[in-house]
């Protein structure tokens, strides 16, 4: 049986490589693959054809630091939620991401193979998932959510939603076991906590976590499985420590300095900033009961966020696009474009959320681009986002069509006149 053909005509192509749209172009999709892109007329008998009349055609967006299973801003409240209920809430979060044009996300801890398979099989609508499984944390680290009064034993991960997010592993042997176990369970990459964080109750933000031997063991074991380590790290010390031990991506990096940025660039590693989560938490955190200690840590990283972009740009660091949102703040996802645009040009921000992020998930040429042979993840925007990034804001109201893997999740193209 022949694959279904879809032909987009007369689109203004935005692909992150230029400050102006290209085209007009025709784009032919066969099945789930882009077969042809041309600035001359494409002929395809039997194709379902849509004349875009100059509207923007662009690749589906990629968020390289997302947490669809962190369904409550008050992270510790996930102790009161069973995994079944949390999974259902996560499906709502993921549908919202797809509605906003995010056709792929890299889950930065919490999602498992089951959720990934549910999306891949189209049992539920959502972005394609690259999962990290449970993040690795040292005792007392960013992923150790035990209260000070808890026993030395971690609760069973089947007991509630929070303990799907991280696991404690200390020493080289435990690290190796933990990496192997997460890979066995279907992880696409491994996340390691290398500094303190805002949401963890008992560790200082400036802490540098895991020894060099432990961190290298995680990197080496991930490499044996054909994958890599992403490192949660805020401070210059933690960032330099992570890249020197072989981490491929640095998450957040708000407190980075010139020396640490140069280390990242020299290693060919990436930084994935996540500015919008601090914006959202600053707006809502106190009302939702974040502790004073968490609010103080939040203020530090929020103030430093914009400066971190400038430092990374100056050092030539490759920057991806992430959001790190929790609970009700997932609706803020697209605001990251506006925050980044205070420092970068619109096409650079779009490139981070498409081409660069495709490199990070190791699908360059397949995701984040509209080129022959790429997966058919395609957005049609009612206007030019290079001139107005507001068109990527909200909950997808300016997206006339969202195609993921060759299927229309949304199609209002018949409304064009």
Question: pLDDT-derived band of residue 202, with 50, 70 and 90 as boundaries?
Answer: low
DSSP 355: I
Identify whether residues 109 and 192 lie together within a single domain: yes
Identify whether residues 249 and 226 lie together within a single domain: yes
Which residues, 6+ apart, have CB-to-CB distance to 338 below 8 Å?
Answer: 389, 390, 393
Give the per-residue pLDDT at 221.
Answer: 98
Angle (CA) 51 55 58, round 5°: 105
The answer to whether residue 17 sits within a structural domain is yes
Region of poorest pLDDT, from 181-185, 199-203, 316-320 = 199-203
Task: Write down how long the chain is.
Answer: 417
Give the per-residue pLDDT at 246.
Answer: 98
Residue 15 CA to residue 109 CA, distance in Å, equals 29
Question: pLDDT-derived band of residue 1, with 50, 70 and 90 as boundaries?
Answer: low
Question: pLDDT-derived band of residue 153, with 50, 70 and 90 as boundaries?
Answer: low
- Helix orientation angle between 258-267 and 236-244, rounded to the nearest 10 degrees: 20
Identify whether residues 33 and 72 lie together within a single domain: no
The answer to whether residue 352 sits within a structural domain is no
Residue 240 CA to residue 96 CA, distance in Å, equals 35
Give the per-residue pLDDT at 160.
Answer: 60
Output the pTM of the full model.
0.93
Identify whether residues 325 and 198 lie together within a single domain: yes
Give the per-residue pLDDT at 78.
Answer: 66
Give the per-residue pLDDT at 171.
Answer: 97
- CATH number, domain containing residue 302: 3.20.20.140
211 within 8 A of 175, measured Cβ to Cβ: no
Answer yes or no: is pLDDT of 294 > 80. no
Give the per-residue pLDDT at 150.
Answer: 66
Q: How far is CA 105 from CA 59, 63, 132, in A?
A: 14, 5, 11
> Reduced to 3 states, what is the DSSP secondary structure of residue 280?
helix
Give the per-residue pLDDT at 336.
Answer: 97
Give the per-residue pLDDT at 8.
Answer: 98
The answer to whether residue 194 sits within a structural domain is yes
Question: Helices (DSSP H) in 57-185: which residue ranges?
Answer: 83-99, 113-120, 171-184
SS3 content of the chain, % helix, strand, coil (to 5): 35, 20, 40
Mean pLDDT of 246-270: 97
Question: pLDDT-derived band of residue 179, with 50, 70 and 90 as boundaries?
Answer: very high
Mean pLDDT, all residues of the chain: 91
The answer to whether residue 339 sits within a structural domain is no
Mean pLDDT of 187-204: 82
The domain boundary, picked from 310, 333, 356, lies at: 333
Mean pLDDT of 309-338: 96
The answer to whether residue 148 sits within a structural domain is yes
For 22, the domain range is: 5-59+368-415
- CATH number, domain containing residue 39: 2.30.40.10
| Number of domains observed in the structure of the chain | 2
401 within 8 A of 379, measured Cβ to Cβ: yes
């Amino acid at each position: 049986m022949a694959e279904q053909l879809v032909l987009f005509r007369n689109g203004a192509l935005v692909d992150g490589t230029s400050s102006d749209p290209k085209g007009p172009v025709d784009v032919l999709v066969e099945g789930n693959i882009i077969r042809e892109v041309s600035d001359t007329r494409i002929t395809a008998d039997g194709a379902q054809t849509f004349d875009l009349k100059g509207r923007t055609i662009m690749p589906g967006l990629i968020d390289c630091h997302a947490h669809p299973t962190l369904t409550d801003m008050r992270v510790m409240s996930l102790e009161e939620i069973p995994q079944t209920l949390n999974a259902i809430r996560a499906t709502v979060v993921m549908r919202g991401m797809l509605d906003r044009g995010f056709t792929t996300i890299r889950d930065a801890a919490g999602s498992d193979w089951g959720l990934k398979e549910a999306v891949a099989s189209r049992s539920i609508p959502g972005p394609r998932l690259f999962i990290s499984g449970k993040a690795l944390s040292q005792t007392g680290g960013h992923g150790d959510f035990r209260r000070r009064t808890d026993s030395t034993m971690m609760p069973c991960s089947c007991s509630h939603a929070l303990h799907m997010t991280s696991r404690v592993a200390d020493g080289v042997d435990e690290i190796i076991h933990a990496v192997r176990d997460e890979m066995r369970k279907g992880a696409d990459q491994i996340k390691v906590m290398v500094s303190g964080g805002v949401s963890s109750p008992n560790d200082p933000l400036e802490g540098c976590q895991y020894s060099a031997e432990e961190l290298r063991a995680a990197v080496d074991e991930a490499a044996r499985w054909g994958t890599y380590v992403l490192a949660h790290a805020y401070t210059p010390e933690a960032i330099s420590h992570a890249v020197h031990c072989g981490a491929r991506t640095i998450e957040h990096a708000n407190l980075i300095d010139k020396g640490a940025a140069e280390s990242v660039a020299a290693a060919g590693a990436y930084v994935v900033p996540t500015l919008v989560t601090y914006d959202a938490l600053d707006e809502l955190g106190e009302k939702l009961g974040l502790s004073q200690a968490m609010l103080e840590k939040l203020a530090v990283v929020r103030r430093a966020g914009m400066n971190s972009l400038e430092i990374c740009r100056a050092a030539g660091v490759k920057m991806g696009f992430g959001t790190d949102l929790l609970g009700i703040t997932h609706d803020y996802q697209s605001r990251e474009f506006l925050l980044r645009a205070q420092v970068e040009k619109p096409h650079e921000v779009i490139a981070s959320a498409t081409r660069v992020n495709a490199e990070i998930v190791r699908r360059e040429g397949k995701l984040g681009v509209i080129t022959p042979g790429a997966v058919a993840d395609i957005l049609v925007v009612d206007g030019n986002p290079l001139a107005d990034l507001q068109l990527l804001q909200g909950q997808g109201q300016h997206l006339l069509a969202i195609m993921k893997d060759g299927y229309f999740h949304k199609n209002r193209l018949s409304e064009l006149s």
